[in-house]
Structure 1
Amino acid sequence: MLPPVGDWAAAAAGVGLTPTTPVVLYDGGGRYVASARGWWTCRVFGVRHVGVLAGGAPAWAAAGLPLAAADAPPLPAMTIPGAGGGGDGGGGGGGAPVDGGPWTRDGGLVWSAADVAAAAASPTRRVRLLDARSAGRFAGTAPEPRAGLRGGHVPGSGSLPFTGVFGGGPGGLAPADELRDRFRRAGVGVGGGGGGGVRADGGGPPRLAVTCGSGVTASVVALAAAVAGEWRVPVYDGSWSEWGGRPELPVATGVEGAEVVEGGGGA
């Protein structure tokens, strides 16, 4: 899902963005689906100061703050990455590598299928993988919206639908203490819970990783974790679009405590 570094560099240059530019992201839905993904992507590529507007454009308008209707500048031309080209620093379409200039890629924030498989196979299960899809899709009782994907979830992962991190206030997300409780119920202590203290500085290995259908709503859960005090939360960028479509990878159905795991076709 991520673009190569060179494509990111070109897009950033088109809007005057540098790694030291302070950035605030917002979207029109008020549920952070686009802005949280943008927040995580900015962090992956090294934007040092990036935040999300609480409540997005709806909260801004509801507060009576000024809105502008000026013509938007044209979006920069983007090169569509070829298969396997996302986020590797190469040019789109399998071309020659493109210099990313000042931009880098924080691989610690991006999980691959191999990372997920290694975490699932670990006897200690040190990192908790949470799935942001609906409970029905997680259990395999609701159909997948994309053709060709098996139903279910990564064996050993937990369910925290992204809709479960919202509260009733104008900011959209639940307060930090409530979020910590919701993560705890999903099997992971974040921020001040579960040991280790609040790690907004990014210190220490991750205790939590997130996945969803295509890497987008997982970013909402990662944002909620940051609000709760857990800053370094990797996103499995391929998510279920990749895992559910690869027959060699195992799939579990049901819910925790009653999982039925079906092995893949090998490997």
Structure 2
Amino acid sequence: MASPLVTVDWLNQNLNNPNLVIIDATMRKITWEKNEFKNSNLQIIGTRFFDIKNTFSDTSSPFPNMMLSPDKFQEQAQKIGINKESKIVVYDTIGIYTSPRVWWMFKSMGHHNIAVLDGGFPEWNKRNFPKENTSKYKGDLGNFIADFNQNYFCDYKAVLNSISDKKKTIIDARSEDRFDGVKEEPRKGLRSGHIPNSRNLHYNDLLVEGNMKSKEELIEIFNPIIAGGSSATFSCGSGITACILALGAEITGRKNNTVYDGSWTEWGSLHELPIEN
């Protein structure tokens, strides 16, 4: 895709593209109360569901939402009909929340023909574009092949080494009160605070009513945080909203960034790792 972001108008005009695959990556927010989550029974016409938590995460890991192995990712992507030539558009029912995680996952697996739908399902629904009742994919297996690039994700050891590296900036997408350690983490048993020398940029600061801010606005946001020529490591609670920052950075032209897959759920659990608050 020419851009990591597409509009609902673009998607509506390209619905008949034979290589187009639309996937819904909606996942419940950990910070929501149980009764706040209302999963719509409607979807964009032709959508296939991409189950991040139960299918496209390593459920054997003690930490949530960790990346699958390339072989397992390939197998599950084929099951929802993803082909090597697929032009993927990913959305969620919140606006932009979990969809950038799927965009980043596919890019890490060598599939760059993917974009996030700006505004997601709310924007699509507001424009009254074609919808249908949700349904399970029953089509053919795809021929998707995973070609994993490990540079898209990093572990806590790499982050630990980055703390004192002036050419690398660690940016945390959590809210300011969680970053500062004044608000208890939503997951039980985690320490409060942040990775030493990391910067705070709440993912919501990149959004306006569920849409990404303009490239010019994003440049103004990132310029004071990421020094020229340096790369960024994005972190959050469990590797989801860090990918919103990765998307915003890519829109500004910043490349060679990485996402800390375990994020604060891992870092805050490992008591041998340093924290600040």
TM range (shorter): 0.7 to 0.9
Q: What residue identity is the alignment partner of 1:144?
A: E
Q: Please state whether the residue corresponding to 2:133 is helix, strand or coil.
A: coil
Deviation per residue, 1:172-213 (Å, 9 max, x gap): 11111111111123x214xxxx3x5xxxxxxxxx61110001
Q: Please state whether the residue corresponding to 1:68 is helix, strand or coil.
A: strand
Which residue of the partner structure matches residue 145 of structure 1? 186
Which residue of the partner structure matches residue 223 of structure 2? 184
Pick one of 146, 161, 173 that aligns with 1:118: 161
Query: Is the CA contact 2:77–2:144 (under 8 Å) kept in the aligned structure 1?
Result: no
Aligned residue-pair number: 210
Which residue of the partner structure matches residue 10 of structure 2? none
Which residue of the partner structure matches residue 175 of structure 2? 134
Pick one of 95, 120, 131 that aligns with 1:56: 120
Indicate yes or no: 2:268 matched with 1:240: no
Indicate yes or no: 2:93 matched with 1:28: yes
Q: Please state whether the residue corresponding to 1:108 is helix, strand or coil.
A: helix
Query: Is the CA contact 2:84–2:144 (under 8 Å) kept in the aligned structure 1?
Result: no
Tell me by how many angstroms 1:101 deviates.
8.1
- Quick one: percent identity of the two aligned structures? 31
Distance 1:29 1:101 in 2: 28
Q: Please state whether the residue corresponding to 1:118 is helix, strand or coil.
A: helix
Query: Is the CA contact 1:215–1:237 (under 8 Å) kept in the aligned structure 2?
Result: yes
The within-5 A match list for 1:149-188 is: 149-167=190-208, 172-185=211-224, 187-188=225-226
Distance 1:222 1:36 in 2: 8
Tell me by how many angstroms 1:66 deviates.
1.3
Tell me by how many angstroms 1:121 deviates.
2.7
Deviation per residue, 1:93-129 (Å, 9 max, x gap): xxxxxxx98312111110110110111033xx10111
Tell me by how many angstroms 1:75 deviates.
11
Structure 2 unaligned regions, length at least 5: 1-65
Q: Please state whether the residue corresponding to 1:210 is helix, strand or coil.
A: strand
Tell me by how many angstroms 1:231 deviates.
3.5
Which residue of the partner structure matches residue 44 of structure 1? 108
Distance 1:74 1:213 in 2: 34
Q: What residue identity is the alignment partner of 1:157?
A: S
Distance 1:214 1:74 in 2: 31
Which residue of the partner structure matches residue 35 of structure 2? none
Q: What is the TM-score normalised by the length of structure 2? A: 0.71
Q: Please state whether the residue corresponding to 2:276 is helix, strand or coil.
A: strand
Q: Please state whether the residue corresponding to 1:24 is helix, strand or coil.
A: strand
Q: What is the TM-score normalised by the length of structure 1? A: 0.74
- Cα RMSD for the two superposed structures: 2.1
Tell me by how many angstroms 1:4 deviates.
1.1
Query: Is the CA contact 1:9–1:101 (under 8 Å) kept in the aligned structure 2?
Result: yes
Which residue of the partner structure matches residue 214 of structure 1? 238
Query: Is the CA contact 2:81–2:139 (under 8 Å) kept in the aligned structure 1?
Result: no
Tell me by how many angstroms 1:74 deviates.
6.1
Tell me by how many angstroms 1:19 deviates.
3.6
Q: Please state whether the residue corresponding to 1:219 is helix, strand or coil.
A: helix
Structure 1 unaligned regions, length at least 5: 77-99, 197-205, 254-267
